[in-house]
Chains A and B, each alone.
Chain A
């Protein structure tokens, strides 16, 4: 089955700095890569996603890059703010015949942004 590795497990930055979280996946059949942000006591919330036919996607301060050959993808957050502090999960998804969406999650990165 799919295996997703995520690094680092903890990332501490100063407000205004950039943060980068990296993930690798094992199954070349994976073709959808969402990133989730989970704040304490809440469910995961999708912040950005990328499909295998795209190499890069950006949404304001957040960007994701995908290298299909190397099987890795990364989340980039620029101009970090204290409210960006949360746990971030990457995931890799393989389509199912039933039309459902089965992501394999990375272990998560705890991002701490110091004011």
Chain B
């Protein structure tokens, strides 16, 4: 199994809603990542978890709240988002060793209305 599975694939939410994005991998990877990607732009790193602990937060607004409940799961909780937060949210994972391949999920296409 070399997949990173993200759900849902598409999400439309209002600015007052609370929703969660989910990411799952069963490759034994202990580093997991959230990226945000706007159209025609490269992915931008948001958060990094290493061994289920948050190791990097790239100054992301608090309306995005990550959670890593176990070594296979990564969540991104969303609350009070703005329309400009609409983007493709990508999850990735890798072995916790220097410079190994990162596997990306297919992403969740988020639209905030």
- Chain A residues close to B by CB (< 8 Å): 31-32, 34, 36, 41-46, 49, 51, 89, 93, 95-96, 98-103, 105-108
Taken together as a complex, chains A and B put the C-alpha atoms of A103 and B33 apart, in Å, by 11
Q: Which one of B11-19, B66-74, B78-86, B101-109 is at the A interface?
A: B101-109
Residue of B with least CB distance to A45: B104
Chain B interface extent, by class? 20 to 34
Q: Is the CB of B97 within 8 A of A49?
A: no
- Chain B residues close to A by CB (< 8 Å): 4, 6, 30-31, 33, 40-43, 45, 48, 50-51, 55-56, 90, 92, 94, 96-107, 109
Q: Is the CB of B106 within 8 A of A100?
A: no
Q: Is the CB of A100 within 8 A of B104?
A: no
Q: Is the CB of A105 within 8 A of B42?
A: yes
Q: Is the CB of A44 within 8 A of B90?
A: yes
Taken together as a complex, chains A and B put the C-alpha atoms of A108 and B41 apart, in Å, by 7
Q: Is the CB of A34 within 8 A of B55?
A: no
B46 to chain A, nearest CB (A): 12
Q: Is the CB of A101 within 8 A of B55?
A: no
Q: Is the CB of B99 within 8 A of A98?
A: no
Taken together as a complex, chains A and B put the C-alpha atoms of A45 and B30 apart, in Å, by 19
Q: Please indicate the chain B residues that have their CB under 8 angstroms from the CB of A46 in the complex.
A: 101-103
11 contacts between A and B (CB under 8 A): A36-B104, A43-B4, A43-B6, A44-B43, A44-B104, A46-B102, A96-B48, A96-B56, A99-B96, A100-B56, A105-B43
